[in-house]
């Protein structure tokens, strides 16, 4: 009887062991099946928005910023003030030229006095002497340049100085002749035109002075500010960027073998993990093949082919999700 009980107990233990063994095998097999089962492919992209670069026509240094990153600005708001001593200097030069042109105009109207005629003659003689000096200097440099002793740059500089001296002599001679003969109607008209020309120069400089104040081109949010206060910026160099949060789209890079349901003007839902579990409807507005480096190359001679990647843009239908920021991940819901 004791032997029978022991035998029955051994059979029970063996049966239990077999059950446990089969259970482990089944569990491992299920895990393996789940592990090797292909997972659905998830297509993700990111949110983008129109960005405008703010730059100026006048070079100078950043005098001060009137906004900070993250501020919302309106079109026409002043954002940056640029300090440009060159503009101030040009304005002073233009004012001085205006005074000279006005004096010349009055001289043409009133005629020249004896003292003015004598002064014009002396200036003419001075210009003649200057022309002679630069002529001789140019002739010497020209000979040396032909012999290869003097550089072309030095030759060009001397030639330019000589031409300036000739021009100064011509101008001085004209002034002297006009002082002797008196101004004609044509000369008076020319003097008046010179005044008007200088007025135009002053107006141009005043416009450039106004360009020291950089304005916002749109309603938007200040995203980036590139140079720091006091740094030098060139003409056309970007100073900051403004993002238009009302002009948002989503960008996806999708392989062509995944474009079956995605066509131009088609619609689909997306999920934005940063904004929770909600979905938003978008519409495809742009599809274009990307560059060759975005192409998957086949390594097999049969049964496979090169797969290109396409640039897909989709715009939201309806209101833009609250809290959406450029760069946030967007996932296509399938």
What tens digit of pLDDT does each residue of 40-52 get?
678 889 999 999 9
Residues in the chain: 334
Q: How much of the chain, in percent, has pLDDT values that exceed 90? A: 25
Q: What single string gives the DSSP state of each residue in 179-211?
A: HHH---HHHHHHHHHHHHHHHHHHHHHHHHHHT
Contact status, residue 323 vs residue 275, Cβ threshold 8 Å: yes
Report which secondary-structure segment, H or E, holds 214: strand 213-215
Q: What is the pLDDT at residue 72? A: 93
Higher pLDDT, 132 or 102: 132
> Alpha-carbon distance 63 to 231, whole Å?
9
Q: In sequence order, what are the beta bridge partners of 252? A: 45, 312
Q: What is the pLDDT at residue 102? A: 72
Average pLDDT, the chain: 80
Higher pLDDT, 84 or 74: 74
Q: What is the pLDDT at residue 74? A: 94
Cα within 13 Å of Cα(5), Cβ side: 2
Give the least confident one: 117-121, 194-198, 241-245, 291-295.
Answer: 291-295
Q: What is the pLDDT at residue 113? A: 61
Mean pLDDT to the nearest integer, 148-169? 81
Judge whether residue 221 has pLDDT over 80. Answer: yes
Rounded (5°) CA angle 167-173-174 = 90
Cα within 13 Å of Cα(47), Cβ side: 27
Contact status, residue 45 vs residue 252, Cβ threshold 8 Å: yes
Q: What is the pLDDT at residue 185? A: 61
Judge whether residue 202 has pLDDT over 80. Answer: no
**Main-chain phi, psi angles of 283, to 5 degrees:** -125, 135
Q: In sequence order, what are the beta bridge partners of 270? A: 280, 332
> Alpha-carbon distance 80 to 217, whole Å?
13
Q: What is the pLDDT at residue 115? A: 67
Instruction: Give the residue among 240, 251, 218, 217 at the shortest CA–CA distance from 326.
Output: 251
Judge whether residue 37 has pLDDT over 60. Answer: no
Give the least confident one: 183-192, 225-234, 251-260.
Answer: 183-192
- Residue 88: how many CB atoms within 10 A of its CB? 13
Mean pLDDT to the nearest integer, 99-114? 64
Q: What is the DSSP letter of 304?
A: -
Q: What is the pLDDT at residue 7? A: 55
Q: 2 vs 6, 7, 10, 16, 266, CA distance in Å?
A: 6, 9, 12, 21, 80
Rounded to whole angstroms, the maximal C-alpha distance in the chain is 158
Q: What is the pLDDT at residue 297? A: 53
Contact status, residue 267 vs residue 333, Cβ threshold 8 Å: no
Q: What is the pLDDT at residue 282? A: 94
Q: What is the pLDDT at residue 329? A: 93
User: Where are the alpha helices (H) located in the chain, listed in sequence order?
Assistant: 2-36, 85-110, 114-146, 152-181, 185-210
Judge whether residue 320 has pLDDT over 90. Answer: no
Q: What single string gives the DSSP state of each residue in 231-300?
A: -EE-TT-EEEEEEEEEEEEEEEEEEGGG-TT--TT-EEEEE-GGG-S-EEEEEEEEEEE--GGGEEPP--
Q: 140 vs 135, 136, 157, 289, 317, CA distance in Å?
A: 9, 6, 13, 66, 78
> Alpha-carbon distance 275 to 191, whole Å?
71
Q: What is the pLDDT at residue 142? A: 83
pLDDT tens digits, residue range 276-314? 888 999 999 999 988 766 565 545 555 566 788 899 999
Contact status, residue 114 vs residue 180, Cβ threshold 8 Å: no
Conformation bin of residue 70: beta by default, left when phi > 0, alpha when psi is -120 to 50 = left
Contact status, residue 40 vs residue 225, Cβ threshold 8 Å: no
- Residue 102: how many CB atoms within 10 A of its CB? 16
Judge whether residue 38 has pLDDT over 60. Answer: no
Q: What single string gives the DSSP state of each residue in 129-141?
A: HHHHHHHHHHHHH
> Alpha-carbon distance 260 to 196, whole Å?
69
């Amino acid at each position: 009887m004791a032997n029978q009980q022991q035998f029955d107990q051994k059979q029970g233990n063996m049966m239990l062991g077999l059950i446990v063994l089969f259970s482990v095998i089944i569990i491992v097999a299920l895990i393996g099946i789940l592990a090797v089962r292909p997972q659905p492919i998830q297509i993700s992209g990111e949110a983008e928005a129109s960005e405008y670069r703010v730059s100026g026509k006048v070079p100078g240094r950043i005098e001060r910023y009137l906004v900070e990153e993250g501020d919302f600005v309106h079109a026409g708001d002043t954002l940056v003030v640029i300090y440009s001593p060159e503009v101030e200097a040009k304005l002073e030069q233009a004012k001085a030229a205006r005074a000279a042109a006005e004096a010349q105009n009055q001289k043409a109207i009133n005629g020249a006095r004896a003292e003015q005629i004598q002064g014009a003659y002396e200036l003419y003689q001075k210009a003649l002497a200057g022309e002679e000096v630069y002529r001789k200097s140019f002739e010497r440099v020209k000979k040396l340049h032909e012999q290869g002793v003097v550089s072309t740059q030095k030759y060009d500089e001397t030639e330019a100085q000589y031409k300036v001296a000739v021009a100064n002599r011509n101008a001085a001679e004209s002034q002297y002749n006009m002082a002797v003969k008196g101004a004609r109607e044509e000369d008076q008209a020319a003097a008046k035109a010179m005044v008007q020309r200088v007025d135009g120069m002053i107006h141009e400089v005043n416009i450039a002075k106004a360009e020291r104040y950089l304005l916002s081109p749109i309603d938007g949010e200040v995203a980036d500010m590139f140079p720091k206060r006091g740094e030098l910026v060139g003409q056309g160099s970007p100073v900051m960027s403004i993002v238009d949060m009302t002009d948002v789209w989503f960008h996806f890079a999708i392989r062509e073998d995944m474009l079956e349901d995605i066509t131009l003007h088609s619609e689909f839902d997306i999920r934005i993990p940063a904004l929770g579990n909600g979905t938003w409807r978008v519409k495809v507005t742009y599809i274009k093949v990307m560059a060759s480096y975005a192409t998957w190359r086949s390594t097999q001679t049969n049964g496979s082919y090169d797969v290109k990647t396409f640039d897909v843009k989709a715009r939201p239908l309806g209101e833009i999700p609250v809290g959406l920021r450029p760069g946030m991940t967007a996932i296509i819901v399938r």
